[in-house]
Structure 1
């Protein structure tokens, strides 16, 4: 299979990198810490191979006001396919802070560390939990299958463990539909649902303004995806023999579909290196490594996601069932809802995320907010200036309002701003629906 051949090429590339680094040092050529080979060889390497391991979050402290606060990272729960990481601000009095935030990271080909900036920003407000999904190549076959239903049930388990009534949930991209489903399942059982649910850039209803991703999913059969994109993890990994959608395909897709983002990250890195700004160069190099941190997804999960969300639209139709339980969006009657979209998002079409206001119909109008961010692409939703300056302040305000309302026992009513507004039933945007 192709996986075996690519592993051999990566091994050769690492060997060549080691020799060029040795040669570079021998002839006095500058080699930055963490680089392999002569200047420029690391740039080529990032284009032809994925990283052997994803970088850690490594968030040791955050600045809150004028105070530097230490951050402690622990794993508080785990399954073979996911670790729930907790980032706690040491020495902070939680009673004076908003309720903690559970970040449901997407399982869409990237490691959760790609959302490191999101977590670091949120730590300015409160403690943070993150779903850190495993690379399927590292999960033994004896751990069993893992499909989309298992993903939802994992989030459901974490919600119950953390106590939904004292928790804000933030789901990004592919994680939006499973997070909404898990919250609805918890609420349908009569257990405390999350205090609020924030969905950013995800396919709640992929029929609306389908992008190239959605059109591609519809243009090919599930059998075609299984025959063309599924490979087998080779020997040498704990998950040897497992059938997966490989990270190398995701890496190639990123290089082909979003070369502008890769080149922007590279340009920033090399600009800092030429200016000999070691701190900024290290930060830029880290951003490159996080973006390149791709993973394998199990065959079951990958094909389930295509079938359930992009082809059959089960959540939007209200027919999604998990372990015999139907996902009933009307169960979320006490959870505040916020949806966020970027106006230049070419991965999730306009209106696909805002459709949650229709799917989760029982959320009171006073407890709803939707944001459409100008000049914002998919990745800007959780990294960079748009995230820090336009989105995060609005979410912090929304969460404070939801927290205060819960303490008072009343509904959430976020005060309107230039960027946000409560969504009333007669304010729904006109949407092009592909049925």
Structure 2
């Protein structure tokens, strides 16, 4: 019922939102003499803030038509190369100059945690300059009809395995945040089966491998409540007329509310500053605010079975680090991973996955040789900075590329140094 009320509220706000948008345009119109005054800009700013705070944000575009390869601008084309009801696999195909190498083939597994894969636009943008990049584009659960069946954590792992098999040997997989657990499980399953399509390397970034280590507020919330609480309080049915009508989901707007409440003061200040930039006609900071919140406020629903199984397995029972995680009735054995190189990356100020939680993968993967391991902690970044922003482009992305090249199955030459923190080697 709560989801239906949310939809009703959104529909009731539609005429007010449309009026605010129209008034914003009127007060910004250069033919309006008041548009060039503080009063006019103040009114226009207020209408824009209201409209943006009450709209529903649709799925953004990646918007990466070009990249630079060997200092030459080349075109980039998005191609869907693999498709299932809950995920598309997108390939960023580049028109490479003659003689240029494709670079390592990298599969980025985007988080299925409320935001669209476009949240990793900066990740893709940094990597496609030197790599052949693919990314999982998870589908909003409310857009998938119930006739297409369920989707749980086991299905997620199966999807990752199928995509790696589709791409073939010598693929390097990069898991950002939430998918660190299912990707590690998928690699363990493939290694146990001696699958020739097991990745050459896997990079786990800001992921909750073991949330008992340095627990954050998000981890504590899951730990303090039984699974029944989540089933009774956050699982809802998709309302009509959405394609996924009657599907049980964890709504994206609830996930977003939770994340925003963690830093509510920061978001309030950001919107106040946005208003002031509009009043002062300061265009660049205002545009950066629009770009960030256009992405941040665009959310998707998760299937109930995937969400509940993830909460139970990862955050309540800690099944993977305990060696108790199951996939299709078989125990996931991380000690089976022997040939896949492992890079773990953490942010020093991460308030979603605390420092040490991702590094736990190094501990539970006991049979990976030392020359195939690397761990890096990026100073002065939070969760978002692990996969986006200037420090990611300058410090983290080059390490991912170097690690992938060093552990390519096409021929490894010099092993990468095991970087531990802020450029220190160990």
Deviation by residue 1:82-138 (Cα, 9 ceiling, x = unmatched): 111111111246872321111111111111111111111111111211111111111
Which residue of the other structure, out of 347, 355, 358, is the alignment partner of 1:353?
358
CA distance in 2, matches of 1:386, 1:260: 24
Aligned to 2:186: 182
Distance 1:274 1:130, change over 3 A: farther
Name whichever of 188-197 and 73-82 sits farther off.
Answer: 188-197
In the alignment, structure 1 residue 210 sits paired with structure 2 residue 210: no
In structure 2, which of residues 108, 116, 119 is the aligned counterpart of residue 114 of structure 1?
119
- Distance in 1 (CA, whole Å) between partners of 2:112 and 2:222 is 17
Measure the CA separation in 2 of the matches of 1:383 and 1:203: 18
Q: Within 5 A, what are the aligned runs for 1:68-147? A: 68-92=73-97, 96-147=101-152
Residue of 365, 369, 374 corresponding to 2:370 = 365
1:197 aligned residue: 202
Cα RMSD of the aligned pairs, angstroms, is: 2.7
Q: 1:407 aligns to what?
A: 410
- Residue in structure 2 matched with residue 431 of structure 1 by the alignment: none
3-state SS, counterpart of residue 96 of structure 1: coil
TM-score relative to the length of structure 2: 0.89
User: Which residue number in structure 2 is paired with residue 292 of structure 1?
Assistant: 297
Tell me, in whole angstroms, the C-alpha distance in 1 between the residues paired with 2:110 and 2:226.
Answer: 27
- The Cα offsets for residues 160-192 of structure 1, whole Å up to 9 and x where unpaired, read as 1111x3211110111101111111212222122
Q: CA–CA distance in 1 between the matches of 2:27 and 2:361?
A: 60
Judged with a 3 Å threshold, the aligned counterparts in structure 2 of structure 1 residues 415 and 342 are, in CA distance, closer, same or farther, namely closer
Aligned to 1:430: none
Q: How many residues align?
A: 415
- Pick closer, same or farther for the CA change 1:48–1:18 going to 2, 3 Å: closer
Change (3 A) 1:342 1:282: same
- 1:44 maps to 50
| 1:360-389 deviations in Å (ceiling 9; x for gaps) | 111110111101111110011111122112
Corresponding residue number in structure 1 for 2:5: 5
1:304-383 alignment runs, 5 A limit = 304-383=309-388
- The answer on 1:166 being equivalent to 2:170 is yes
2:39 aligned residue:
none
Aligned to 1:57, the other structure's residue is in SS state coil
Q: Which range moves more in the overlay, 388-397 or 287-296?
A: 388-397
1:153 aligns with 2:158: yes
Q: Is the 8 A contact 1:169 1:198 kept in 2?
A: yes
SS at match of 2:50: helix
5+ residue gaps, structure 2, are 36-42
Q: Cα deviations across residues 317-348 of structure 1 (Å, max 9, x unaligned)?
A: 12212112321212221111110111111111
Distance change >3 Å, CA 64–CA 401, structure 1 → 2: same
Task: Show the counterpart of 2:15.
Answer: 15
1 CA distance for matches of 2:60 and 2:401?
28
Following superposition, the deviation at residue 227 of structure 1 comes to 0.7
8 Å contact 2:92–2:134 — kept in the other structure? yes
Change (3 A) 1:416 1:203: closer
SS in 2 for 1:171: strand
Cα gap change, 1:93 to 1:279, in 2 (>3 Å): farther
Deviation at 1:264, TM superposition (A): 7.1
The 3 A distance-change label for structure 1 pair 391 and 413 is closer
